[in-house]
Amino acid sequence: MYAWPATEVPALPGQGSPLHIFDTAASGLRRTSPGPTARLYVCGITPYDATHLGHAATYNAFDLIQRVWRDAGHEVLYVQNVTDVDDPLLERAVATGQDWTELAERETALFREDMTALRMLPPAHYIGAVEAIPSIVPIVQDLLRQGAAYELDGDIYFSVESDPHFGEVSRLDAEQMLRFFGERGGDPDRPGKKHRLDPLLWLAARPGEPSWETELGNGRPGWHIECVAIALGHLGMAFDIQGGGSDLAFPHHEMGASHAQVATGSHPFARAYVHAGMVALDGEKMSKSRGNLVFVSRLRKDGVDPAAIRLALHAHHYRSDWEWTGADLERAEQRLAVWRAAVSRPDGPDAVELLAEVRAALADDLDTPRALAAVDAWAARQQAGGGSDTGAPGVVSRTVDALLGVAL
């Protein structure tokens, strides 16, 4: 499906350095060394409600990865999905008396608007779960043939024991896995499963729910296989980064890696698994199911500059869990005003060091607070009347645009 329009990324003098990023599977920093084309898969939204600041923070992190890669001379092949058929979406549609396709289309359209306003770079392939069904079916058939999947009352499950690498993505112990599996869409207690952690690959049609007639019978896909089919179809195995919020490490990314590894007989699914921290509101993780949300679209309607929203996100390191408060936005608005005033002057302090420092900060596991501090320092020197380089304000403005996605 259509993604959203691309914003131009200005060229910067010189070149950035290789990105080092925290890989959940390695439990440490890893130097990404993509080929000429860096390949990135980021899990997209389940479109039953509007984009909240937690979503925005997660997509912000993966937008920065693309910017750092591009600055280091790579092309980026970016793929994102939309989970446009799944339990929470169908449940919300029933609860509110809406048609599930209309709900999904409306919320996806709003997500596109939010991403555009925030100047997030669009994926080259933006694929819905429904669209992906024809590519999901042969993978499930393959897993069945290999004995890595089995049927239970018409549903089809993946056998986690078929993957010798199972557990290597999230590195959780058995007890933690069981807890997260139950909390995050799994069904550990269904009788008849070979292993309590086995996830659904295919759900046989249920009354009142949408279903598709395929070689697997009449039904719909499970959640993890959707991202596997889309990633394999557009990126292949061993792509550079699989990304999402930390709540996706298990079971979603663990299961996806296993599905793909067993189906293709190769390893790894992704070279690195990168996870953003959770944004909270009023002491709890912002989540559609809890309803404690601050929507990007609401802030925009209230007249908040999207550039200030992005700066508010950048003020937190992407891996930390943090709580949104009104003060975040106030600080970001002040910073934006100071930066804009600083680059609007005809000259200023030399910006060569600033560019090097922003590049170094971002290449070091996306250290945005350090990058902001570097721009703050330049703006302070500017305010103190510290320079007469006529090229400097332009370089700063292009640096902030190209590397932080903020238009000054």
Binding site for Zn ion (CB under 5 A): 43, 227
Query: What's the sign of the alpha-carbon dihedral 195, 198, 201, 203?
Result: positive
Closest to ligand 5CA by CB, 121 vs 395, is: 121
Q: How far is the CB of 171 from ligand 5CA (least distance, A)?
A: 18
254 binds, options Zn ion, ligand 5CA, none, Cβ within 5 to 8 A by partner type = none
Peptide bond into 251 cis (omega under 30): yes
Rg (CA), the chain: 22
Give me the least distance between CB of 227 and Zn ion, in Å please.
3
Distance CA 190, CA 196 (A): 8
What residue 118 binds from ligand 5CA, Zn ion, none (CB within 5 to 8 A, per partner kind)? none
- The two tokens of residue 332 are 């970001």
Among 275, 269, 273, 277, smallest CA distance to 242 is for: 273
60 binds, among Zn ion, ligand 5CA, none (CB under 5 to 8 A by kind): none
Identify which of residues 131 and 376 has a Cβ nearer to ligand 5CA in the complex: 131
* Preceding peptide of 268 cis, ω within 30°: yes
For CA atoms 313, 316, 321, 327, the dihedral sign is negative
57 binds, among ligand 5CA, Zn ion, none (CB under 5 to 8 A by kind): ligand 5CA
Q: How far is the CB of 194 from ligand 5CA (least distance, A)?
A: 25
Nearer of residues 74 and 252 to Zn ion, judged by Cβ? 252
**Residue 286 touches which member of ligand 5CA, Zn ion, none, C-beta under 5-8 Å by kind:** ligand 5CA
Q: Count CA atoms within 13 Å of residue 206 on its CB side.
A: 11
Cβ of 9: how many Cβ atoms within 10 Å? Answer: 17
Residue 134 neighbours by CB under 8 Å, 6+ apart: none
CB of 247 to ligand 5CA, least distance (A): 5
Q: Is the Cβ–Cβ distance between 12 and 355 less than 8 Å?
A: yes
Between 245 and 393, CB nearer to ligand 5CA: 245
* Nearest residue to 118 via CA among 285, 255, 300, 269: 300
58 binding partner (options Zn ion, ligand 5CA, none; Cβ < 5 to 8 Å by kind) = ligand 5CA
Instruction: State in angstroms the smallest separation of the CB of 234 from Zn ion.
Output: 13
Q: Which residues pair with 77 in a beta bridge?
A: 39
- Least Cβ distance, residue 112 to ligand 5CA (angstroms): 14
- For 12, 145, 221, the CA distances from 136, given in Å and listed in that order, are 41, 15, 7
Nearer to ligand 5CA by C-beta: 220 or 285? 285
For the bound state, the minimum distance from the C-beta of residue 47 to Zn ion, rounded and expressed in Å, comes to 13
Closest distance to Zn ion from the beta carbon of 223 (Å)? 7
Q: Of the two residues 54 and 405, which places its CB atom closer to ligand 5CA in the complex?
A: 54
- Nearer to ligand 5CA by Cβ, of 313 and 354: the residue is 313
Q: Which of 61, 351 has the CB closer to ligand 5CA? A: 61
CB 241 within 8 A of CB 41: yes
Q: How far is the CB of 62 from Zn ion (least distance, A)?
A: 12
Residues that bind ligand 5CA (CB under 6 A): 43-46, 54-55, 57-58, 81, 83, 227, 244-245, 247-248, 276, 278-279, 285-287
Residues 6+ apart with CB under 8 A from 29: 20, 21, 22, 23, 365
Q: CA of 20: how far to CAs of 23, 68, 163, 292, 376, in Å?
A: 9, 10, 28, 33, 24
> Residue 245 touches which of ligand 5CA, Zn ion, none (CB < 5 to 8 A by kind)?
ligand 5CA
Which does residue 397 touch among ligand 5CA, Zn ion, none (CB within 5 to 8 A, set by kind)? Answer: none
Identify which of residues 220 and 359 has a Cβ nearer to ligand 5CA in the complex: 220
